Amino acid sequence: MTKLLQVSDLRVTFESGFGKVDAVRGVSFSMDMGDAIAIVGASGSGKTVLGRSMLGLVDAPGVVHGSIRFDGEEIVGRSEKELRDIRGLGIGMVFQDALDGLNPVYSIGSQLSEIFTVRRGLSASQAKAESIRLMEQVGIHRASERYDNYPHQFSGGMRQRICIAMAIGMKPKILIADEPTTALDVTVQAGILRLIKSLQTETGMGLIFVTHDLAVARMISTRIVVMYAGQIVEEGLTEAIFQNPTHPYTRALLAAHPGRVRSWRDLEPIPDAFVTDSSGSEAENSTPQVVVTN
């Protein structure tokens, strides 16, 4: 049985003026259709680089080693042109900042329908109809009236909905979402998370959701992968991790969450670790130092 996604011993290294930085150090996991995996970790844990490597989006000086097999096909080492086909047909991505994903000088409608004219060869009117259907699917009211609007006429939450529409427009098998709600208000955040969740259950696509917030991870995922210093320190079913976290770092993450305690006195801060600053010698060390509080 071929897994939908099989990541084996993935390593991503950045060569910088200060020495070598290992952002991802030997990560392996796999997923099937319908899986919803949350990758949880603090800034600098390597979670974003991990997400981007699956799309071949790690830019120089980053170097990717190891293997990422999508539907049996190797992604690591492919040319930009081949990657573009894999991304368009198989893997969609939603980024943190919805403004970065949209071009300010083109209307929302033209950016959406471009997917269908370029990728599926639809006529302009067919593409428009498809785009409006997609806008409705992601919860844009009076979509046909908003079709000709520009990004600046949309709120942050609506822009993120459009980015999601663009990502799912080609019916990807996997959607990678990197902190898609971090820049949004709580009420808007809840709406976007519900949207992603329902799209995922509807279409059966695989979901990889990158976040630093365990509350978000709990709502969206069936499985959680906890990353620290470029490695997976704990992995398991979402509820099992919440009920019974085994790794000290996972426990520390939970203890630092305001929703888990009754008084600010019970918050357990996680000491700063400049993971990305690892010096050459530290990078050799395959087991990262894990900070244990309490």
Partner 1 sequence: MMNNHIKIAATSPLLEVRNLRKSFGGRRRNSGPIIAVDDISFTLEPGECLAVVGESGSGKSTLARTLLRLVEADSGAVLYGGRDLLTLSHADMQRQRRFLQMVFQDPYASLHPRRTVAELISEPWEIHPGVVAKAERKDRIEALLAEVNLPKHFYSYYPNQMSGGQRQRVAIARALALEPKILILDEPVSALDVSVQAQVIKVLMALQERRGLAYIFISHDLPLVRLVAHKIAVMHRGSFVETGPTETVFENPTHEYTRSLLASSLSTSKGVDAH
Binding residue for partner 1 (CB under 8 A) from 71, 235, 268, 282?
Answer: 268
What is the arrangement of strands in the sheet containing 206-211, beginning at the earlier edge strand? 91-94, 174-178, 206-211, 36-40, 223-228, 231-237
Please give the full DSSP string across 133-177, using - where no structure is assigned: HHHHHTT-TTHHHHTT--GGGS-HHHHHHHHHHHHHTT--SEEEE
> Is residue 16 a contact residue for partner 1 (CB under 8 A)?
no
Q: Which stretch binds partner 1 (CB under 8 A): 30-38, 49-57, 80-88, 261-269?
A: 261-269
> Is residue 294 a contact residue for partner 1 (CB under 8 A)?
no
Q: Under a CB-based contact definition with an 8 Å cutoff, are residues 66 and 53 in contact? A: no
Collapsing DSSP to helix, strand or coil, 85 comes out as helix
> Is residue 49 a contact residue for partner 1 (CB under 8 A)?
no
Collapsing DSSP to helix, strand or coil, 231 comes out as strand
Pairing of strands 5-16, 19-31: antiparallel
Binding residue for partner 1 (CB under 8 A) from 118, 124, 215, 237?
Answer: 215
Residue 218 CB neighbours (<10 A):
16
Residue placing its CB nearer to partner 1 in the complex, 85 or 266? 266
We find the least distance from the C-beta atom of residue 194 to partner 1, in angstroms, to be 10
> Is residue 251 a contact residue for partner 1 (CB under 8 A)?
no
We find the least distance from the C-beta atom of residue 266 to partner 1, in angstroms, to be 9
Residue 89's φ and ψ, nearest 5 degrees, are: -95, -25
Provide the β-strand partners of residue 65. 11
> Is residue 212 a contact residue for partner 1 (CB under 8 A)?
yes
Binding mask 144-173 for partner 1 (x = CB under 8 A): ------------x-----------------
Residues in 271-290 at the binding interface with partner 1, rule: CB under 8 A: 271-272, 274
Collapsing DSSP to helix, strand or coil, 269 comes out as coil
> Is residue 17 a contact residue for partner 1 (CB under 8 A)?
no
> Is residue 292 a contact residue for partner 1 (CB under 8 A)?
no
> Is residue 259 a contact residue for partner 1 (CB under 8 A)?
yes
What the block records as the tokens of 27 is 């990560």
Q: Is 92 left (phi over 0), alpha (psi -120 to 50) or beta?
A: beta
We find the least distance from the C-beta atom of residue 139 to partner 1, in angstroms, to be 15
> Is residue 99 a contact residue for partner 1 (CB under 8 A)?
no
Q: How far apart are CA 255 and CA 232, in angstroms?
A: 19
Q: How far apart are CA 283 and CA 182, in angstroms?
A: 30
Binding residue for partner 1 (CB under 8 A) from 1, 17, 43, 294?
Answer: 43
Binding residue for partner 1 (CB under 8 A) from 39, 210, 219, 227?
Answer: 219
Residues in 67-96 at the binding interface with partner 1, rule: CB under 8 A: none
Provide the β-strand partners of residue 40. 211, 226
Residue placing its CB nearer to partner 1 in the complex, 128 or 223? 223
We find the least distance from the C-beta atom of residue 123 to partner 1, in angstroms, to be 38
Binding residue for partner 1 (CB under 8 A) from 76, 248, 260, 283?
Answer: 260
We find the least distance from the C-beta atom of residue 51 to partner 1, in angstroms, to be 16
What the block records as the tokens of 260 is 């888990």
- Cis status of the peptide bond prior to 288, with omega within 30 of 0: no
Interface ranges with partner 1 (CB under 8 A): 42-43, 156, 185-191, 193, 212-216, 218-219, 242-243, 252-254, 256-265, 267-272, 274
